Amino acid sequence: ITTANSTTSEVVVPTVFKWEHGGRHVYITGTFNNWERQIPMHRSGNDFTYVHNLPKGKHAFKFIVDDEWRFAPDQPTIADIEGRINNFIDISEFTPYTGDDQFFEKCKDRKIADEEFSQNIPDLDDYTKEPPALPPHLRHIILNKPTPTIDPQALPVPQYVSLNHLYCTAIKDGLMVLGATQRYKEK
């Protein structure tokens, strides 16, 4: 495994390092910085990522998770001469994608048969139908009904099928009344 200082190529490759195994504070270090500095990784939910420009070659690295040196079991590993397991990445053969210069010319030359295109004009009934009817048990709105008791604050007890619903009245004089029912304790 080469270190960042021993490679002769000046081409650098933006490399994404990812730790997906939890932790509160995760750092990364490796041959790319001669194991001298712990670089903090960026948290996104439970995952941590870090992008580093690496020279082409093979690089070993390790994660420091909550002050404990760890390797990612779901990434390639290699043992060093002392038997410690590290993760490694090989970017020796990396070639960046530069695009296809002939792409637009190829597209212009391609003839598409008319059979590949069609128009399905929807039937008039498909988009002029009435919306589905409200289920009958939800038509009983408890808003603005006379109270069955003398207490004006008491509302009638809703049917169990109309609990946990939002009710609204039609707009009248620029005002819409909303009401909600919620299940409390038992039926």
Looking at residue 66, what is its pLDDT? 94
**What pLDDT digit, counting tens, does each position of 34-79 carry?**
999 999 999 988 899 999 999 999 999 999 999 999 999 999 999 9
Looking at residue 163, what is its pLDDT? 59
3-state secondary structure string across the chain? CCCCCCCCCCCEEEEEEEECCCCCCEEEEEHHHCCCCCEECEEECCEEEEEEEEECCEEEEEEEECCEEECCCCCCEEECCCCCEEEEEECCCCCCCCCCCCHHHHHHHCCCCHHHCCCCCCCHHHHHCCCCCCCHHHCCCCCCCCCCCCCCCCCCCCCHHHCCCEEECCCECCECCEEECCCCCCC
pTM: 0.50
Looking at residue 9, what is its pLDDT? 44
The pLDDT-based confidence of 80 (bands split at 50, 70, 90) is: confident
